Amino acid sequence: ETGVTQTPRHLVMGMTNKKSLKCEQHLGHNAMYWYKQSAKKPLELMFVYNFKEQTENNSVPSRFSPECPNSSHLFLHLHTLQPEDSALYLCASSQDGRNEQYFGPGTRLTVT
């Protein structure tokens, strides 16, 4: 238990669906991240929020839309996804200025 929770843990969606992934951290951190993890590939940073402000958008397609209403919660809104978007989506948090990131268990997403 790292203090970072993610829901749902598994999600299957069609290409025309709209769904959202949720992340919550109970560590008092002020930076939150979304990563995509595909088989045999490096963790890909998608978005970074510092103090609720988006500071990084790593050329992510617009079908992924992040939202950070406060420093404890982070959402990833999904719409019209493609089968190649199937992956493990990991949320992480850190204290600004500190190196170590704390990861949630991830959401295993399958797009059919």
Partner 1 sequence: GQSLEQPSEVTAVEGAIVQINCTYQTSGFYGLSWYQQHDGGAPTFLSYNALDGLEETGRFSSFLSRSDSYGYLLLQELQMKDSASYFCAVRDRTGGFKTIFGAGTRLFVKA
Residues near partner 1, by CB under 8 A: 2, 4, 40-43, 45, 48, 55-56, 90, 92, 99-106
Per-residue tokens: 45? 């940073």
Shortest distance, CB of residue 29 to partner 1, whole angstroms? 13
Q: How far apart are the first and last CA of the chain?
A: 31
Name the residue nearer to partner 1 (CB basis): 52 or 79.
52
Let me know: does 47 contact 33? Beta carbons within 8 Å. Answer: yes
Shortest distance, CB of residue 19 to partner 1, whole angstroms? 21
What is 11-61 written as a DSSP string? Answer: EEE-TT-EEEEEEEE-S--SEEEEEEE-TTS--EEEEEEETTEEEEE-S--
Name the residue nearer to partner 1 (CB basis): 76 or 90.
90
Name the residue nearer to partner 1 (CB basis): 10 or 69.
10
Let me know: does 44 contact 58? Beta carbons within 8 Å. Answer: yes
Shortest distance, CB of residue 52 to partner 1, whole angstroms? 16
Let me know: does 48 contact 111? Beta carbons within 8 Å. Answer: no
Shortest distance, CB of residue 100 to partner 1, whole angstroms? 4
Name the residue nearer to partner 1 (CB basis): 16 or 98.
98
